[in-house]
Amino acid sequence: MNTLTGKTLGELFSHASRWLANLRRARLERKRESIEALRQVITASRETAVYIRQLEDTGRRDHQMERHLALLWTELGFSLEDLGLEKLAKRCQIKGKHWANPEYYDKDFLTRSDISLERMERLARELLADISR
């Protein structure tokens, strides 16, 4: 029969304390990463809105900017996916694909996907509010 000695109990307690501290640190880091990613969605939404306004004002497409927006939304989708924010991640992936190739999705799919800038920003703000509670 094995018995726990004071030394063994001390080691177990020390290990458990370190494990809990690491767990808390990981939770705080994940929260920080989530907040940062959600804020980036809002920033990307505004950057996209400015480009759309420019496009409407001038009638001239800027393929470099559209490339940037495609990559921006796609990278945001990956970041949100890594954080487990699947609903918004999927919308970001669709938005990125749409900027990469506007003809890829049909209008009905885009409507059903609800990827308007207003909706994306609202979802990000709602998730931010949930994280802050």
Res 47: pLDDT: 97
Per-residue pLDDT of 69-92, as tens digits, reads: 999 999 999 999 999 999 999 999
- Cα separation, 78 vs 76, in Å, equals 5
pTM of the model: 0.79
Token digits for 40? 């980036």
Query: Cα separations (Å) of 49 from 1, 4, 45, 55, 114?
Result: 71, 65, 6, 10, 16
59: enclosing H helix or E strand = none
Spatial CA neighbour of 63 closest among 22, 115, 99, 111: 99
Per-residue pLDDT of 18-29, as tens digits, reads: 665 655 665 788
